[in-house]
Chain A
Amino acid sequence: DIQMTQSPSSLSASVGDRVTISCRASQKISSYLNWYQQKPGKAPKLLISAASTLQSGVPSRFSGSGSGTDFTLTITSLQREDFATYYCQQGYNTPLTFGQGTKVEIK
């Protein structure tokens, strides 16, 4: 199974900050990497697919990069509605696996 490791597990940031979340795969997964946002009590929401493709309706302050084993989710100017938990997920093969999550909290 491909292990997905996110860092950090949590972070505190202020509105307007630039935030970077890393995701590392235990083996090469090309660009089969996706990012989700989950708010408390809600279903996950797909933000980015194929490492860098922003989904329709997702603000342009979100971006993704990387290929192979190392990937990054960047939020350029954190907004209040962005405080949530973010998960990466590999779609390279089954079992599909998620990172453990990164909780973005208000400083």
Chain B
Amino acid sequence: EVQLLESGEGLVQPGGSLRLSCAASGLTFSSYAMSWVRQAPGKGLEWVASISDSGGRTNFADSVKGRSTISRDNPKNILYLKMNNLRVGDTAIYFCAKCRHPGYCYYMDVWGEGTTVTVSS
């Protein structure tokens, strides 16, 4: 069974940084693209970033572009999201999600339970 488990800082001050991790198990991690998707309180789903199977291709939402990095450690089966200059609007549940294909994320077929990030002073 594929499992994704997110972890990271829960409360961050505006202007601060965070690094989220997603530990994957039950799959050949290096064979799939991966994504981060977030959901602000009471709101809908917002795609944040994706990374290809090798890590050579990344894409970001405009809302986080320029202040975020997505990376992966394939030997350790871990996906990361680093965000800088955090804003109150970044407050959300962050989901790690496995994409069905290797090079590009057309859709997400397995999701983690999510980790809550609150940006507040």
Question: Which A residues are within 8 Å of any B CB, using their own CB?
Answer: 1, 32, 34, 36, 38, 42-46, 49-50, 55, 87, 89, 91, 94-101
A44 to B105, CA, bound (A): 16
Between-chain CB contacts (< 8 Å), 13 pairs: A32-B106, A34-B106, A42-B113, A43-B112, A44-B45, A44-B95, A49-B106, A49-B107, A50-B106, A89-B107, A91-B105, A97-B47, A98-B44
Say which size band chain B's interface belongs to: 20 to 34
Pick from A45, A50, A99: contact of B111, CB under 8 Å: A45
> Are A46 and B44 also in contact (CB < 8 A) when A95-B61, A95-B62 are?
no
Question: Which B residues are within 8 Å of any A CB, using their own CB?
Answer: 35, 37, 44-47, 50, 59-62, 95, 100, 105-114
Contact B107 A43 (CB under 8 A): no
Contact A43 B59 (CB under 8 A): no
List, in ascending order, chain A residues with CB within 8 A of B100's CB. 49
Contact A46 B109 (CB under 8 A): yes
Query: B14 to nearest A CB, angstroms?
Result: 24
A105 to B26, CA, bound (A): 35
A87 to B105, CA, bound (A): 17
Contact A43 B114 (CB under 8 A): yes
